[in-house]
Amino acid sequence: MSRILAARRLAPVLVAWGIGPSVSHQFEIEAKRDGAKAIEAEHMLLALAAGPGGDVAKLLGEAGLDYHRLAAALRDERRRTLAFAGMKVPDTKLVATTELDGSLTFGTSAKAAIRRALVGARHERHRRHLRSTDLLAGILDAELGTVPRALAISGIDRAEMASRAWGFKG
């Protein structure tokens, strides 16, 4: 996991772990929509939230989160972070988008989330099969970064939601 992986090369591995191909492809779509050069944890979270129904949607819904609320929280986090640094949010019309046909790599926060999900799934439940709720928990277990800041801004108890994701019996 420590080397940079292209999303298309990792997609079959995620599918084997129980993460559907449409979700793993959605990681890349969310990152490209954001104009990112790599897939980060926030893109993975948005992709998981975009999936209709399912275990992740149920957990997020219980916390009052859906795709649109998460996207708004992430935009607010970006605006606040840039304002703290004395910068303005760039006009979205001026931001260059990422090529749609090129494959992106996983960034540091995404790789760390996958690593946490794998370790948690193996140690907490003594199994090797990764579920979407494990990936959600791996994303939510981050103490620092964009996702924890965005959830804090939204008033979401990230640690409690991660605990529920780890213990989810679906």
DSSP assignment of 70-135 equals HHHHHHHHHHHHHHHTT-PPPPTTTSPPPPSSSPPEE-HHHHHHHHHHHHHHHHHHS-----HHHH
pTM greater than the 0.75 cutoff: yes
Tell me the pLDDT tens digit for each residue of 73-116: 999 998 888 888 788 766 554 445 545 556 888 999 999 999 99
- Checking if the pLDDT of 62 tops 80, the result is yes
Q: Which of 40 and 87 is assigned the larger pLDDT?
A: 40
Domains of the chain with CATH codes: 7-166 (1.10.1780.10)
